[in-house]
Amino acid sequence: MFHPTRSGSRGNFSCLIHPADSEEPVFIACPSDLQTSTMENGSFVSLPLAMLNATDNSGGVTVTNDYAGVPLALGSITLVTFTAVDPSGNFGLCSFNVTVAGK
């Protein structure tokens, strides 16, 4: 590209164009609803959740979830949502219910 200078001569300049990223991250495997049970005569269960993986065209994805790690009560149904965010702020969601049944 050429850009005229004040003196009227043409000087070279370059610019770097970054295309806008509008593609949201995608979870590799989003589980369906889960059922777990309490221990014998138990009223609560702790839920050991593994972190889910997501992919994105940008290559970098941060995955978080909203489960606070508190024990879940017998008979409860808890919605757990994982969020994957790429560097451009695009996000993908994976949500499922966890039901606690007695043993």
Cα distance between residue 29 and residue 33, in whole Å = 13
The CATH architecture to which 21-101 belongs is Sandwich (2.60)
User: What are the domain boundaries of the chain?
Assistant: 21-101
pLDDT, mean of residues 38-47? 76
Q: Is the pLDDT of residue 14 over 90?
A: no
Exposure b/e, 64-94, CB count within 10 A at least 16 = b:
eeeeeeeebeeeeebebebbbbbebebebeb
pTM attached to this predicted model: 0.76
Q: Is the pLDDT of residue 4 over 60?
A: no
Cα distance between residue 18 and residue 86, in whole Å = 15
| pLDDT confidence of residue 8 | 60
Instruction: Find the angle CA(40)-CA(43)-CA(48) to the nearest 5 degrees.
Output: 85
Task: Write the pLDDT tens digit of every residue in 49-60.
Answer: 888 999 999 888
